[in-house]
Amino acid sequence: MRRSIDDQYILSFGGGSMNPMQLREDEIGRHLAQAHESGELRSAESYGKPLKSDEGWEQTPDEFRMGFKALRNAGVAPPEIEQFHQRAELRSQVQAAADEGSRQKLQRELSELEQRISLRLEAMKVRSSL
């Protein structure tokens, strides 16, 4: 008699204490095996094809890859990218400033932001030797 994947799962772990991460990996494996048996995986457009590599993946230091990928998958840009956008906006505001007082205020904000960006990038270089 052939056992179902659920039966195999229950028999193989029968109430013993296991590492929670191992249980999660086993659960993922069980779902993948079920999807394979049902043919669900074969219907995927990318089935049997190599995975596409993300743009910039190879240039991203190893210690930043997972964090950046999680942010990207969540539709959120890394904080450094947001700072670059802020810098571009401030530069436009400096150029469009009507009077010298507001131009100086914006220029000061721009300088402070550029310092923060520089420090952040330097810290990233030190940690990962970018």
pLDDT digits (tens, 9 = 90+) for 50-68: 877 777 777 777 878 888 8
List CB contacts of 110: < 8 A, sequence separation 6 or more.
87, 90, 91, 94
CB 64 within 8 A of CB 81: no
Q: Would you put residue 3 in left (φ > 0), alpha (ψ -120 to 50) or beta?
A: beta
Of 89, 83, 88, 90, the C-alpha closest to 120 is 83
Using pLDDT thresholds of 50, 70 and 90, give the confidence band for residue 79.
Answer: confident
**How many CB atoms are located within 10 Å of the residue 84 CB?**
14
Residue 90 to residues 83, 102, 112, 122, Cα–Cα distance (Å)? 10, 12, 11, 22
Note the pTM of the prediction, 2 decimals. Answer: 0.50
Task: Dump pLDDT digits (tens) for 16-45.
Answer: 555 667 777 888 888 888 888 888 888 888
